Chain A
Amino acid sequence: MLRNFVCWPFLLLAATSQPLRLPIVLVEAKALYDEDALVPRPIAAVTAHLVADGGHIRLRVTVSAVGLGIEPVPGFAGTPDANRRTAEELDRLLAAGAMQWVTRRGAENEAGQLVAVERGELPARHIDAAGNVSATTTEASLVRRVTFESAPLPASTSCGYLLSEGVPRLCVQVDNTGDTYGLTIESMGEPAPPGHLKVRR
């Protein structure tokens, strides 16, 4: 499986200007991202890390088109735990520069940055005319994962949003007292789902 990684820019900086210090993960949360439908299907996996790095605390959020529990696109070619449409959509949004991570600060949004993109084939299923099933991968190399990092966060509660074409689609709330840390991941559909899935760790 072909995978290309774009390196973390802050690590490049660290490598060139100061001794390498790996960020410390303070807390991790995971959740499946639901599409905005009446019966929402999980179409992506979200992992959020609160990391301490160089005296700052930042939120790092990865949105993935592959992961246990992700439902495939309908049809024979889709295979569970990966969603080709999600990967294509991530690709399209990246190419258009239409995805952005922001942290809400009062009435203003503070921009985060895209720090990693993983590309590669997605698992797929091939079904021939005789009805034989075989595991394969997508022909095209797609975006499997994207990772964003917030600006340094205050020692308080803050909310970060993944904006897709200007519309918030994902919210991660950070509860940071300085001693204890909490993360809440929330899918944001349109229209709003009847309830909100909140995963706290």
Chain B
Amino acid sequence: MRALAGLLATMLCVSAQTPLPTVTVPADWASRDLEVRWVTYRAAIDGAKENGLADAWAKELGRVADVELLEWIALFDGWQLAGPELVRLDAPQMVRVAIWNLGNFDSHGESSAKKALLEQPGRVLGWLNTHPNAVRGPVVALRDELVLAKTTPRPHPSDLPPHDPMQVLVPWLEAPATLEQFDPTAKSEPGRKLHARYAHQVVRALGGVLAYGNADDSVITKVVALTRHGNEVVRLRAFDTLSRLPDWLVPFAALAKVVDDAEAPPDRRRLALLALSASSHPDMLDVLVRIARDPDHVARDAASARLGEVGDPVAVVPLREAATSSPELQQALTAAFDRLDRRRTDKLFARSPALASMLRRAAWQHHCREARAPATRAATVQLVLSSGTPAELEHAFAVVEAIPPNQSPLRGAEAAAVTAGVELLVKELRAALAPQRR
């Protein structure tokens, strides 16, 4: 009987697996331009209903050894799918594109690229020694790790030199006002205009911003500029890219300016509001609250929805008070209030991301000497203490305290003041919890 149960379980496990879709590139694939191959690939996977199609494409490209396109996929979409094929093919692009992904904002891309590099330590250290200019940012830690492990450098002569983000990304992020559309059914570019830029090239470079990581202010400024582009797809993808940055890098001030610009087109203001709501700036929720109260603002619905998702009960106190005398406001915010209540019931405000946000806002208001700061502080302390057990809260406190100072949307003295304010609040909260621990 036990054997039968095991057999049945195995059969069911097998039936639970979904085979990858079948992808076969045309016979003339290798003769097509790289740009044509990229457009064909993207057209096939974008919006695909088949699960695993991008994975199947990567495997097919590996089968036909299209290392050029695999490299582009790993550069602009991330390491996850194309990287393993480059490893399998022992491609000369493998090391440089894995190094490129070490700063990937997507932790899956970053960690899988690092894993691949650590599996060939001698080759990687040899490459780093050959290309010392590539040793910057997260690559420094990798090099130190390899040196510490007494790795013997074994450079592969065929490995290609590192990519320069200034060449791979910047020319495409500095898009001209007019962008051409590329015909995905073309097999070559006979009609390609000299110096033409295509919309998909700009969108691809936006993906590269996320895969490369290490986005400095100059790169983010270029992405912000693209949110004003005449091409609506580019605009949308630029805003989406900003919303996918780490929360402390989301350009809060630039986005708030668009949200408040009555002269800006409504679509830009709505998209800016949505991107802004991904920021961890301590003023972010105040913007959402202000817009949610304004029945004439084009982004009001989006602000209300996002308040329920990323807001907290302390931030919406003014809204709840205003809603008591305004049935219209109450109706507009019912879903957001319900969601906040559910999150509170489930003690989600005792978890580190929400806790960090609340403590930062209280500390920020105190630093700015706002009149409401004492009330915010008291309400925050009360909410936190009622949100979890001492053990759960202690876990969250430890995480909040471990956030590096450079992961702040503020700079200089302001960042230091808020960090110090958060530390004080944590100390106060721990003191309040002490009797419960005893």
Which A residues lie within 8 Å of B90 (CB)? none
Which A residues lie within 8 Å of B398 (CB)? 194-195
Q: Is the CB of A197 within 8 A of B17?
A: no
A130 at the interface (CB under 8 A from B): yes
- Please provide the 10 A-B residue pairs with the shortest distance between their CB atoms, ordered closest to farther: A131-B270, A117-B16, A140-B51, A129-B232, A195-B395, A74-B244, A130-B267, A75-B244, A9-B8, A131-B271
Which B residues lie within 8 Å of A113 (CB)? 6, 9, 13
Which B residues lie within 8 Å of A41 (CB)? 353
Q: Which of A10, A95, A195 contacts B394 (CB 8 A)?
A: A195
| A39-B403 contact in complex given A131-B299, A140-B49, C-beta closer than 8 Å | yes
Could you list which residues of chain B lie within 8 angstroms of chain A, going by C-beta atoms? 1, 4-6, 8-9, 12-13, 15-20, 47-52, 55, 105, 107-108, 232-233, 235-236, 239-240, 243-245, 266-271, 273-274, 278, 298-299, 301-302, 305, 309, 342-343, 346, 348, 351-353, 356, 391-392, 394-395, 398-400, 402-404, 407
Q: Is the CB of B399 within 8 A of A91?
A: no
A176 at the interface (CB under 8 A from B): no
> Smallest CB–CB gap between B109 and chain A, Å?
11
Q: Is the CB of B12 within 8 A of A130?
A: no
The binding surface of chain A is classed by DSSP as loop
69-114 of chain A: CB within 8 A of chain B: 69, 71, 74-77, 80, 85, 88-89, 91-92, 94-95, 97, 113-114
Q: Which of B5, B50, B342, B356 contacts A39 (CB 8 A)?
A: B356
Q: Is the CB of A37 within 8 A of B18?
A: no
| New A-B contacts (17) at CB < 8 Å, excluding given A127-B236, A131-B267 | A6-B15, A13-B1, A13-B5, A38-B407, A39-B352, A39-B353, A39-B402, A40-B399, A68-B348, A75-B240, A76-B240, A91-B18, A114-B16, A119-B18, A129-B233, A133-B302, A194-B402
A198 at the interface (CB under 8 A from B): yes
15-49 of chain A: CB within 8 A of chain B: 17, 32, 35, 37-42
The closest CB in chain B to the CB of A113 belongs to B9
Which A residues lie within 8 Å of B47 (CB)? 139
- Of the candidates A85, A92, A115, A133, the one having the most CB atoms from chain B within 10 angstroms of its own CB is A133
Q: Is the CB of A9 within 8 A of B5?
A: yes
Q: Which of B9, B18, B244, B302 contacts A115 (CB 8 A)?
A: B9
The binding surface of chain B is classed by DSSP as helix
The closest CB in chain A to the CB of B391 belongs to A198
Q: Is the CB of B274 within 8 A of A131?
A: yes
Q: Is the CB of B402 within 8 A of A129?
A: no
Which B residues lie within 8 Å of A91 (CB)? 18, 51-52
Q: How far is the CA of A140 from the CA of B299 in the complex (A)?
A: 30
Q: Which of B48, B243, B298, B305 contacts A74 (CB 8 A)?
A: B243
Q: Is the CB of B12 within 8 A of A7?
A: yes
Q: How far is the CA of A32 from the CA of B8 in the complex (A)?
A: 31
Q: How far is the CA of A117 from the CA of B309 in the complex (A)?
A: 28
> Smallest CB–CB gap between A125 and chain B, Å?
9
Which B residues lie within 8 Å of A6 (CB)? 12, 15-16
| A80-B309 contact in complex given A95-B17, A131-B268, A131-B302, C-beta closer than 8 Å | yes
Which A residues lie within 8 Å of B5 (CB)? 9-10, 13
Query: How many of chain A's residues have a CB under 8 angstroms from any CB in B?
Result: 53
Q: How far is the CA of A72 from the CA of B2 in the complex (A)?
A: 40
Q: How far is the CA of A140 from the CA of B85 in the complex (A)?
A: 23
Which B residues lie within 8 Å of A142 (CB)? 51
Q: Which of B235, B271, B395 contacts A197 (CB 8 A)?
A: B395
Report 13 cross-chain contacts, Cβ distance below 8 Å, ordered by A residue.
A13-B5, A39-B352, A75-B240, A80-B309, A91-B52, A117-B16, A127-B274, A129-B235, A131-B298, A139-B47, A139-B49, A194-B399, A196-B395
Q: Is the CB of B243 within 8 A of A42?
A: no
Which A residues lie within 8 Å of B270 (CB)? 130-133
A164 at the interface (CB under 8 A from B): no
The closest CB in chain A to the CB of B13 belongs to A114
Which A residues lie within 8 Å of B400 (CB)? 39
Q: How far is the CA of A115 from the CA of B274 in the complex (A)?
A: 40
Q: How far is the CA of A175 from the CA of B301 in the complex (A)?
A: 48
Q: Is the CB of A12 within 8 A of B399?
A: no
Which A residues lie within 8 Å of B348 (CB)? 68-69
A158 at the interface (CB under 8 A from B): no
Which B residues lie within 8 Å of A77 (CB)? 240
Q: How far is the CA of A12 from the CA of B1 in the complex (A)?
A: 12
Which A residues lie within 8 Å of B404 (CB)? 38
The closest CB in chain B to the CB of A195 belongs to B395
Which B residues lie within 8 Å of A115 (CB)? 9, 12
Which B residues lie within 8 Å of A80 (CB)? 309
Q: Is the CB of B232 within 8 A of A13?
A: no
Q: Is the CB of B352 within 8 A of A76?
A: no
| A133-B394 contact in complex given A74-B278, A139-B48, C-beta closer than 8 Å | no
> Smallest CB–CB gap between B292 and chain A, Å?
14
Q: Is the CB of A69 within 8 A of B343?
A: yes
Q: Is the CB of B9 within 8 A of A9?
A: yes
The closest CB in chain B to the CB of A67 belongs to B346
> Smallest CB–CB gap between B142 and chain A, Å?
15
> Smallest CB–CB gap between B155 and chain A, Å?
29
Q: Is the CB of B239 within 8 A of A76?
A: yes
Q: Is the CB of A69 within 8 A of B12?
A: no
A154 at the interface (CB under 8 A from B): no
**Chain A 162-198: CB-based contact to B (< 8 A → 1; otherwise 0):** 0000000000000000000000000000000111111
Which A residues lie within 8 Å of B15 (CB)? 6
Q: Is the CB of A13 within 8 A of B18?
A: no
Q: How far is the CA of A33 from the CA of B403 in the complex (A)?
A: 20
Which B residues lie within 8 Å of A76 (CB)? 239-240, 243, 274
